[in-house]
């Protein structure tokens, strides 16, 4: 039985106006289908439009043209409230810069994702602790981000993305600020989520070693997607 596509992108474009430089097409007529449960990685150099594509897929940005269908919902047709529900329930974001709230402890940074839900305070607390323990941060739950290493901060960001059990995990350069060893650890966590819980993962990165964790690779350059990966894009042996 063929797996259904949880993400469908057709003719997606995003154009920015940049002063005298005129218009810049960050994403140019991209078409993409991602079957449920796939771990897709999009490689590409900086400025190729990877992050913009991810933001459009996750409903954080509005396209200039084309459409995104996420789990059967066409994002451009959703109201602001429905889009909020999509971001809360269907999608989990992990950013390169971790994007943790600096005044919150690791625990509170996870709880904050559960705050707009119907969960009670106790349920939020238990779920957050359970998630932090699952990535080995149970003892660090009450530490502020500044007291955590880069790898620990990214693990907090990942469990925050997992908090609402989203069906899609969007990773924007998840290893960009980490050394290779820590980066591999982060990818392993995402890989396990993909394998064990069937979450669909879309990662954009320029780290070649991601290849070992993914089951589909695409390449992006100048806003366009390609299925052929240039060998020079791999920074290190896989």
Residues near another protein (CB under 8 A): 55, 58, 60-62, 80-81, 84-85, 87-89, 93, 95, 99-101, 103-104, 108, 111-113, 115-116, 121, 124, 160-161, 164
Residue closer to another protein (CB basis): 53 or 214:
53
Picking from 66, 41, 43, 48, the residue whose alpha carbon sits closest to that of residue 56 is 66
Picking from 217, 225, 222, 230, the residue whose alpha carbon sits closest to that of residue 31 is 225
- How far, in Å, CA of 167 to CA of 64, rounded? 26
Residue closer to another protein (CB basis): 71 or 108:
108
Residues 6+ apart with CB under 8 A from 99: 157
Query: Least distance from C-beta 115 to another protein, angstroms?
Result: 4
Residue closer to another protein (CB basis): 36 or 61:
61
Angle between helices 121-134 and 106-114 (to 10 degrees): 130
Spatial contact of 235 and 206, defined as CB atoms under 8 Å apart: yes
DSSP 116: T
Query: Least distance from C-beta 23 to another protein, angstroms?
Result: 18
Residue closer to another protein (CB basis): 28 or 111:
111
Name the helix (H) or strand (E) containing 125: helix 121-134
Residue closer to another protein (CB basis): 89 or 233:
89
């Amino acid at each position: 039985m063929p797996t259904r596509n949880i993400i469908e992108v057709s003719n997606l474009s995003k154009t920015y106006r940049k002063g005298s430089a005129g218009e810049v097409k960050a994403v140019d007529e991209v078409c993409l289908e991602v079957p449920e449960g796939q771990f897709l990685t999009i490689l590409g150099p900086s400025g190729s439009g990877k992050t913009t594509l991810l933001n459009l897929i996750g409903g954080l940005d509005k396209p200039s043209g084309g459409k995104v269908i996420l789990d059967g919902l066409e994002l451009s047709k959703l109201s602001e409230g429905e889009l909020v529900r999509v971001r809360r329930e269907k999608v989990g974001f992990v950013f390169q810069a971790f994007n943790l709230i600096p005044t919150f402890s690791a625990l509170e940074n996870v709880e904050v994702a559960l705050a707009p839900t119907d969960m009670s305070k106790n349920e939020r607390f238990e779920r957050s602790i359970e998630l932090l323990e699952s990535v080995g941060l149970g003892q660090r739950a009450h530490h502020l981000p500044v007291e955590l290493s880069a790898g620990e901060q990214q693990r907090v960001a990942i469990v925050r993305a997992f908090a609402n059990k989203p069906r899609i995990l969007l990773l924007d350069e998840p290893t960009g600020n980490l050394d290779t060893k820590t980066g591999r650890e982060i990818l392993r966590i995402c890989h396990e989520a993909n394998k064990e819980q069937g979450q669909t993962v879309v990662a954009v990165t320029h780290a070649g070693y991601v290849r070992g964790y993914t089951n589909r690779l695409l390449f992006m350059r100048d806003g366009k997607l390609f299925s052929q990966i240039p060998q020079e894009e791999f920074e290190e042996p896989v």
